[in-house]
Amino acid sequence: MSEAEEQAFIGEVADVLDVLAAAIRVSEAQPSDAPATVARWNGQLRYCKQQKQNDKTRRVLEKAFNPAWADRYIEELLFDDPPAP
């Protein structure tokens, strides 16, 4: 990757983060027991549980590192269960 390509990529990422930050600033917090909050949490939990069963991801990580490391990485970092709202 050239320096120009790297800087262009960094600029794109910064723009995306600026849009996200602006949206966060104008949004209003929802109660943790709001139906939409609970639905988002359930969706994230379901996604994490499904991804933990993805053998392709696990095999790639096991091959690059080792099975114990792959399990810990998947369970505790990559697809850790989201805390309850």
Residues with Cβ within 8 Å of 75's Cβ and at least 6 positions away in sequence, in order, are 52
CA angle 46, 50, 19 (to 5 degrees): 65
pLDDT tens digit sequence for 35-45: 999 999 999 99
pLDDT at 1: 85
pLDDT range class, residue 4, cuts 50, 70, 90? very high
Q: What is the pTM of this model?
A: 0.67
pLDDT tens digit sequence for 48-78: 999 999 999 999 999 999 999 999 999 999 9
pLDDT at 2: 95
Q: Domain coordinates of the chain in residue numbers?
A: 1-30, 35-85
